[in-house]
Amino acid sequence: MAECSIRDYRILPRAFYNRPTRVVARDLLGKVIVHGDAAGRIVETEAYLGLKDAAAHASRGLTPRTKVLFGPPGHAYVYFIYGMHCCLNLVAEAEGSPGCVLIRALEPLCGLDDMRRRRGVERIEALASGPGKLTVAMGIGLALNGADVTAGEFTVRECPTPEPVTIATGPRIGITKAAHWPLRFWLKGSRFVSRA
């Protein structure tokens, strides 16, 4: 904890999320997710565009599960999949426009011991290099579905002295519909992305 002054990082305002989903997905790279004492730098994201995107949960319309996606931006959408994994998304675009950004990988920054304990692995590259892994590492579960990430114990923040980054783009992973769209973004060369 001593090496982490992340509490002083500026919280991203709601206006950050109230933009086109693609732009939000790209700009989230390098930002820092903070939950309690755990923190990680976003190194990989995917955009899910909503009604016109067959791969997006929201493409089927408003249901109990997708309610959060149709709500205001700057909230977390957490869902349970494959009987054992949670995935974290951040809602983008204006209320009623159900875009969201899947957080696919983090570079662990703070709370590494807790992350190792929760994940049951040692290698830092293995702690949060995948959407299901990072929710475990960060202690994020369904209880945080709908949470406002612009205030409180669960936030997304901006590093005051960001390192220059090169952003790469490619097809999304693990989907069968609209799989060719280049809506995956990652930090080129990062050891912490889910795939090389």
Partner DNA sequence: CAATAGATCATCT
Partner DNA sequence: GATGATCTATTGC
Binding site for DNA (CB under 7 A): 46, 48, 55-58, 60, 63-66, 77, 79-85, 87, 89, 100, 102, 119, 121, 126, 130-134, 172-177, 194
Which residues are within 8 A (CB) of 44 and not within 5 positions of it... i.e. 6 or more apart? Answer: 29, 103, 104, 105, 184, 185, 186, 187, 190, 192, 193, 194
How far, in Å, CA of 178 to CA of 92, rounded?
19
Ramachandran sector of residue 47 (left: φ over 0; alpha: ψ -120 to 50; beta: rest): beta
- We find the least distance from the C-beta atom of residue 96 to DNA, in angstroms, to be 16
State the residue for tokens 């500026």: 10
**Count, residues in the chain:** 196
User: Which residue, 35 or 57, has its beta carbon nearer to DNA?
Assistant: 57
- We find the least distance from the C-beta atom of residue 164 to DNA, in angstroms, to be 27
User: Which residue, 74 or 130, has its beta carbon nearer to DNA?
Assistant: 130
User: Which residue, 89 or 155, has its beta carbon nearer to DNA?
Assistant: 89
User: Which residue, 60 or 188, has its beta carbon nearer to DNA?
Assistant: 60
Cβ count within 10 A of residue 137 = 27
- We find the least distance from the C-beta atom of residue 182 to DNA, in angstroms, to be 15
- We find the least distance from the C-beta atom of residue 173 to DNA, in angstroms, to be 5
